């Protein structure tokens, strides 16, 4: 996949560009269906399949104090879009100036003239342009004079209810309430965080005989406080683990942490990058009466994770 992260690097219209546009936070199964429809239509006309997204997320520019945490940071989003088979990803640097582009200029000057759009695949609620003045009807109004086709994709519903629409908002709520198993069904993969392992407070190994890898979150979504079965990928190898997210109430120090114990693993990986996939939530945070009770519960959590035979 060719990735373009500056509009100055677009040297001319793409050959029969078939595009979809969105934030694609999560790159969930609904987004994946859009990408596959783009690819199918591009193949049918001998064109170029393209996705256009924005960085940072537009809400972080337009609504600076009310933006939601991200399901996927940009690097992961880029990898996930590439895995669908899209030919070209354009990441538009989103600024207040770009937000003020009119719907007409966005379609005619950017999509048609600069990109070479011959077809656009979007969901039924798609809006664009300054103050969201553009919508599906607007796209259709100019389709014939500007020479492109509008393809409106249906909603993807989750397999469990067969009624509720798959959306980033739903996934965000599921993760924030600890329902990572349900979120996995809508994402098409486990919810994942990535980070560099930092030095912790040394309590896991010294006090509980349970060393942990500590991660500092950036802008991504944090699952609800509690203990989770996870898999950990380090240097392309995958391990089973147990993650604790929250404030460690037994120690009563009120510091938010993400700590991961990697089962049957004894390497020092401070400073190394890891990714953590959340498989299931075991329990909420509990304030234990003493360290022995906490240690006993941790060992029970580890045995549950080990017996799930995830690898």
Phi then psi dihedrals of residue 255, to 5 deg: -110, 125
Q: Are residues 138 and 229 in the same domain?
A: no
Per the CB < 8 A criterion, the answer to whether 151 and 44 are in contact is no
The number of beta carbons lying within 10 Å of the beta carbon of residue 278 is 22
Token pair, residue 281, equals 């939530």
Q: What is the mean pLDDT of residues 64-88?
A: 91
Q: Are residues 9 and 149 in the same domain?
A: yes
The per-residue pLDDT for 260 is 94
pTM of the model: 0.90
Each residue's pLDDT tens digit, 4-37: 998 889 988 999 999 999 999 999 999 999 999 9
Phi then psi dihedrals of residue 208, to 5 deg: -120, 0
Q: Are residues 270 and 197 in the same domain?
A: yes
The per-residue pLDDT for 294 is 81
The per-residue pLDDT for 28 is 96
Each residue's pLDDT tens digit, 36-48: 999 999 999 999 9
**168, part of any domain:** no
Q: Are residues 237 and 146 in the same domain?
A: no
Each residue's pLDDT tens digit, 250-277: 656 667 889 999 999 989 999 999 999 9
Residue 72: which CATH number? Answer: 3.40.50.620
Which of 153, 178, 200 is where one domain is finished? Answer: 153
Overall number of domains in the chain: 2
How far from chain centre, in Å, is Cα 272? 21
Which of 153, 179, 204 is where one domain is finished? Answer: 153
Which of 95, 125, 153 is where one domain is finished? Answer: 153
The per-residue pLDDT for 22 is 94
Residue 282: which CATH number? Answer: 2.40.30.30
CA dihedral 181, 186, 187, 190 (to 10 degrees): 10
Summary mean pLDDT of the chain: 90
**253, part of any domain:** yes
The per-residue pLDDT for 239 is 96
Q: Are residues 87 and 220 in the same domain?
A: no
C-alpha distances out from residue 183 to 126, 246, 283, Å? 23, 20, 17
Question: What is the crossing angle of helices 168-176 and 180-187, to 10°?
Answer: 160
How far from chain centre, in Å, is Cα 48? 25
The per-residue pLDDT for 87 is 98
**282, part of any domain:** yes
Q: Are residues 7 and 57 in the same domain?
A: yes
C-alpha distances out from residue 29 to 14, 161, 191, Å? 27, 15, 13
Residue range of the domain that includes 271: 191-307
Q: Are residues 135 and 16 in the same domain?
A: yes
The per-residue pLDDT for 205 is 47
The per-residue pLDDT for 271 is 94
The per-residue pLDDT for 207 is 45
Do the strands 17-21 and 117-123 form a parallel or antiparallel pair, or are they unpaired?
parallel
**205, part of any domain:** yes
In this structure, of 256-260, 267-271, 292-296, 297-301, the range with the lowest mean pLDDT score is 292-296
Q: Are residues 139 and 219 in the same domain?
A: no
**167, part of any domain:** no
**178, part of any domain:** no
The per-residue pLDDT for 52 is 97
The per-residue pLDDT for 249 is 64
Each residue's pLDDT tens digit, 168-217: 999 999 999 999 999 999 999 999 999 999 986 655 544 456 788 999 88
Q: Are residues 148 and 235 in the same domain?
A: no
**184, part of any domain:** no
**179, part of any domain:** no
The per-residue pLDDT for 256 is 82
Task: Sheet containing 2-4: give its strands across.
Answer: 2-4, 88-93, 48-55, 17-21, 117-123, 149-153
Q: Are residues 46 and 135 in the same domain?
A: yes
Q: Are residues 9 and 119 in the same domain?
A: yes
Q: Are residues 195 and 147 in the same domain?
A: no
The per-residue pLDDT for 251 is 57
In terms of pLDDT, which residue wins out, 104 or 203? 104
The per-residue pLDDT for 206 is 46
Report d(CA 231, CA 240) in Å as an integer. Answer: 5
Each residue's pLDDT tens digit, 126-180: 998 888 899 999 999 999 999 999 999 987 877 666 667 899 999 999 999 999 9
């Amino acid at each position: 996949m060719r990735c373009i992260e500056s509009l100055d690097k677009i040297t001319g219209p793409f050959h029969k560009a078939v595009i979809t546009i969105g934030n694609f936070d999560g790159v969930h199964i609904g987004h994946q269906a859009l990408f596959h429809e783009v690819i199918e239509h591009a193949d049918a006309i001998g064109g170029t399949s393209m996705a256009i997204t924005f960085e940072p997320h537009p809400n972080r520019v337009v609504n600076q104090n009310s933006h939601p945490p991200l399901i996927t940071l940009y690097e992961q989003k880029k990898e996930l879009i590439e895995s669908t088979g899209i030919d070209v990803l354009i990441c538009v640097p989103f600024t207040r100036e770009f937000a003020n582009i009119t719907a007409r200029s966005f379609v005619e000057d950017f999509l048609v003239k600069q990109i070479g759009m011959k077809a656009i695949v979007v969901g039924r609620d798609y809006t664009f342009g300054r103050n969201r003045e553009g919508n599906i009807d607007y796209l259709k109004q100019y389709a014939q004079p500007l020479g492109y086709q509008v393809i409106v994709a249906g909603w993807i519903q989750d397999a469990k209810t067969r009624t509720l629409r798959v959306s980033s908002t739903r996934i965000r709520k599921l993760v924030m309430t600890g329902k990572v198993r349900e979120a996995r069904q809508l994402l098409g993969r486990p919810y994942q965080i990535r980070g560099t392992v930092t030095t912790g407070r040394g309590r896991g190994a010294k006090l509980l005989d349970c060393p942990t890898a500590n991660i500092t979150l950036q802008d991504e979504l944090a699952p609800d406080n509690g203990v989770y079965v996870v898999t950990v990928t380090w240097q392309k190898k995958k391990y089973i683990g147990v993650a604790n997210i929250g404030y460690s109430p037994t120690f009563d120090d009120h510091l938010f942490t993400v700590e991961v114990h990697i089962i049957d693993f004894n390497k020092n990986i401070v400073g190394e990058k890891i990714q953590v996939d959340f498989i299931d939530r075991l329990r909420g945070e509990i304030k234990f009466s003493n360290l022995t009770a906490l240690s006993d519960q941790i060992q029970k959590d580890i045995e549950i994770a080990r017996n799930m035979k995830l690898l």
